[in-house]
Amino acid sequence: MSGNETKDIHPAIDPGRRKFLGTTAMAGAALGLTACGASQSSGDKAAAGSAATAASSGHDAYEVPPGKLDSYYIISSGGHSGEVRILGCPSGRTIKRIPVFNIDPMLGWGITNESRAIIGTRPDGQLKYWTGDTHHIHGSYKDGTYDGKYFWVNDKLNARVARIRGDTFETDKITELPNVQGQHGLFSDKRDPVDAAINYTTRVFAGAEFHIPLPNDGRDEESPDKYGCLFTCLDANSMDVRWQCRIDGNMDLVATSYDGKLAASNQYNTENGIHYEDMMSAEQDACVFFHVARIEAAVKAGKFTTIGDSKVPVVDGRKEANADPKTALTCYVPVPKNPHGVNASPDGKYFVCSGKLSPTCSVIDLALVNKWFDGELAKPRDAVVAEPNVGLGPLHTAFDGRGNAYTTLFLDSKIVKWSVDGAIAQFKGDAKAKVIIDAIDVHYQPGHGFTSMGETKEPDGKFFNSGNKFSKDRFLPVGPLHVETEQLLDITGEKMKLIHDHTAYPEPHDAIIVRADIIKTRQIYDLNEFPNAVKTKEESTIERNGNKVHIRLMSQAPAYSMREFKVKKGDLVTITLTNHDKVEDLTHGFGIPKYNINFVVNPQETKSVTFVADKPGIFWCYCTHFCHALHLEMRSRLIVEA
Ligand code: RUQ
Ligand code: CUA
Ligand code: CA
């Protein structure tokens, strides 16, 4: 640690709480959490008061009146709900929930054949996985800013990466990563495409958190020294895994540089511990940097191994194998202690690692990391150009494009605003440098915080969203399980202003705030993009092939193209449904009682379901999505003959 703990403590941060950290065990940190939550309530009133002032003075700027649209999309993960959400900013309204790794009858996700093919099935036809845990979502870039084409999100539970289309806000691909568990951090390439045929971001980087025996096939369970962790690179187009890099320790979040040269992941367990005391034993952990071009050259030159059944090239990024900077694939920059989060500044110069168990943020200069790789910097630690004290439990940092950083303080339940240049000057020895500019209470225990366009070269410094992990008394009580609080701050001024709270169903982690004009969604689908579309009344038929029956249906408000369809008990039935309505927003549903069939078709969209007709009787297939004055009458009879 840099030993400057007592310097520059902002009056808004109670220095008394500092003693919770240092070398205390996790039990101490957990105690700090409770104590901090309890002591918060007196501060709440003040914060609520300032929110009211902000709302009354700047009312027009934040309110989105009836009939008006939000100026930003918040594209947010949904945590262990397995989904992704779209919210409006500044209203905080939930606009859409996108099923990704979960099952969602509203859409029919996990029910239709098309979604099941994306999620992946086992040889017996069952879904391979039906649950997931999304944490980090990032978009495709062009010229250093979002192009609105794609978004990628991780699944920590089953080690997958999914892609969401920006024109439909639906999941179109899911890839399972080999050889890893706890796939946590994820970030897309920010460099401009190098391949002319590819008009968007070309790579997605993913950091795995849990180390496992390699291969993980029942060998070496009791030999942690044989455990390993891999950093993964995917091709953004094909979503195939390009390569993996084995490292020491484990990974947490991922950041990428704007020039495509460096990717990095913070590491809280350089100790390779398998119990939490072990994971906290060292005073310093690291931020590991990947020299992407060298790794890709090594893969091209065949300098890799493979693990188990996987064909993915694995290069060796462990410290011992990378001692010579001039050939190193990785660089381990030491930072204090169990850092959480690594975030890139929008000027492209720095990555900031938040200390979590240290009250500091480490500012790492990317030019100096590149210098180390060129053999011109003595030690990786020399790439750290600032390490300001910001408060207790710093987790994630966002930027406003005016040189300020905003760090979430989990234990202090605050957002602290600090100057990057001020911190660098202070680190160089300028005792008068102004580092901490402001701090504000949030409610409570913030995890991620993110600014409008803050992860692009066009940060506009207008809004900061604090994703709070505890809501306690902020909303009507709804039983033991509480909702989470997202709080929006106006960051246009010197002082931050709390604008409003909105609820978040547990539990979103990270999000990005994207300017509304960047997103270009479609109003309807195109019939021709579905090879199985039922295009005309003549194509609406029932075909039998042995015990396989294919019912080809159309919907057009307020009717399906067939009033009834007969099958025999035991038939394997496929129903393909094309929605012929062309009007925006005219979605139909299709539900079959007792058969677990429930999905929607949007205008000009085709979907299909397959099931065994194992129950004889009459089953009213009905439209589940209100579409017309005769919506209730919109139904057909499925007759299953005994
Ligand atoms: S981690 S609360 Cu999954 Cu993004 Cu930091
Ligand atoms: Cu069609 Cu309701
Ligand atoms: Ca550690």
pLDDT in tens, 552-563: 999 999 999 999
pLDDT level of residue 34 (50, 70, 90 thresholds): very low
- Which residues have C-beta within 8 Å of that of residue 365, sequence separation ≥ 6? 349, 350, 383, 384, 385
Residue whose pair of structure tokens reads 């710093």 in the numeric block: 394
- Least confident piece of the model among 12-26, 74-88, 138-152, 331-345: 12-26
pLDDT at position 198 is 60
- Greater model confidence, 268 or 415: 415
Q: Supply the pLDDT for residue 630.
A: 96
Structural domain of residue 610, as residue ranges? 527-641
Which ligand 2 atom is at minimum distance from the Cα of 631? 2
Is the CB of 340 inside a 6 Å radius of any atom of ligand 1?
A: yes
In this predicted model, what pLDDT tens digit does every residue of 596-631 receive, in sequence order? 999 999 999 999 999 999 999 999 999 999 999 999
Q: What is residue 275's predicted lDDT score, i.e. its pLDDT? A: 82
Residue 7 domain-assigned (yes or no): no
Is the CB of residue 469 below 6 angstroms from any atom belonging to ligand 1? Answer: no
Token readout for 549 is 């029956």
Q: Report pLDDT for 223.
A: 83
Instruction: Measure 189 CA to ligand 1 centroid, in angstroms.
Output: 20
140 CA to centre of ligand 1 in angstroms: 20
Neighbours of 499 (CB within 10 A): 21
Q: How confident is the model at residue 47 (pLDDT cuts 50, 70, 90)?
A: very low
pLDDT digits (tens, 9 = 90+) for 194-209: 765 666 668 999 999 9
DSSP assignment, residue 68? P
Strand order in the sheet with 284-291: 254-256, 262-267, 284-291, 330-336
Structural domain includes residue 561? yes
- Is the CB of 138 inside a 6 Å radius of any atom of ligand 1? no
Ligand 2 atom at minimum distance from 558 CA? 1
Please report how many Cα atoms fall inside a 13 Å half-sphere around the Cα of residue 180, on the Cβ side.
Answer: 35
Contact residues for 478 (Cβ-Cβ < 8 A; gap 6+): none
Tokens of 36: 């901090």
Please report whether residue 502 resides in a domain: no
In a domain, 545, yes or no: yes
Tell whether 580 is covered by a domain. Answer: yes
Separation of CA 587 and ligand 2 centre (Å): 7
Helix (H) or strand (E) holding 554: strand 548-556
Q: For residue 46, what pLDDT is reported?
A: 35
SS3 assignment, position 216: coil
Using the atom order of ligand 1, give the atom closest to the CA of residue 510: 4
CA dist 419 and 194 (Å) reads 34
Predicted confidence (pLDDT) at residue 11 exceeds the cutoff of 60: no
Q: How far is the CA of 631 from the centre of ligand 2 (A)?
A: 5
Q: What pLDDT sits at residue 12?
A: 44
Per-residue pLDDT tens over the stretch 273-296: 878 888 888 889 999 999 999 999
User: Which of 232, 224, 138 lies closest to 182, judged by CA?
Assistant: 232
- Listing DSSP states for 223-288 in one string gives -GGGEEEEEEEEETTT--EEEEEEESS----EEE-TTSSEEEEEES-TT--SSHHHHT--SEEEEE
Cα 508 to averaged position of ligand 1 atoms, centre (Å): 9
**Residue 165 in this model has a pLDDT that exceeds 60:** yes
Atom of ligand 2 nearest to the CA of 632: 2
Specify the residue with its C-alpha closest to ligand 1, atom 3: 135
Q: How far is the CA of 557 from the centre of ligand 2 (A)?
A: 6
Question: Are 486 and 463 a contacting pair, CB within 8 Å?
Answer: no
Q: pLDDT tens-digit profile of 58-72? A: 445 788 999 999 999
Both structure tokens of 597: 């069939």
Question: Is the pLDDT assigned to residue 352 strictly greater than 60?
Answer: yes
| Ligand 3 center from residue 3 Cα (angstroms) | 18
Separation of alpha carbons 620 and 592, rounded Å? 6
Give the pLDDT confidence of 534-546 residue by residue, as tens digits.
999 999 999 999 9
Cα of 342 vs centre of ligand 1, distance in Å, is 10
Whether 24 shows a pLDDT value over 50: the answer reads no
Q: How far apart are the first and last CA of the chain?
A: 76
Q: Which residues surround ligand 3, an ion (CB under 5 A)?
A: 268, 279, 285, 338
Using a 10 angstrom Cβ sphere, with 0-12 exposed, 13-18 middle and 19 or more buried, the burial of residue 546 is exposed
Please say if the pLDDT value at position 130 is more than 90. yes
Q: What is the mean pLDDT of residues 569-582?
A: 98
Atom of ligand 1 nearest to the CA of 408: 2
pLDDT at 129 over 90: yes
pLDDT at 217 over 60: yes
Q: Is residue 148 part of a domain?
A: no
Residue 153 lies in a domain: no
Cα–Cα distance for residue pair 88/68, rounded to 1 Å:
11
How much is the pLDDT for 200?
Answer: 62
Give the pLDDT band of residue 20 (cuts 50, 70, 90).
very low
C-alpha–C-alpha distance, residues 1 and 17, integer Å: 18
* pLDDT confidence of residue 22: 37
Atom of ligand 2 nearest to the CA of 623: 2
Taking the C-alpha atoms of residue 63 and residue 518, their distance in angstroms, rounded to an integer, is 21
Tokens of 514: 């994207």
Per-residue confidence (pLDDT) for residue 481, from 0 to 100:
95
Q: Which ligand is nearest to the CA of 267?
A: 3
Q: What is the pLDDT of residue 13?
A: 46
Ligand 1: atom nearest CA of 467 is 2
| CATH code of the domain containing 605 | 2.60.40.420
Residues with CB under 6 Å of ligand 2 are 557-558, 588, 623, 625-628, 631, 634
Whose alpha carbon is nearest atom 1 of ligand 2? Answer: 588
Domains: count for the chain: 1
Q: Is residue 577 in a domain?
A: yes
Residues 471-514 have pLDDT tens digits of 999 999 999 999 999 999 999 999 999 999 999 999 999 999 99
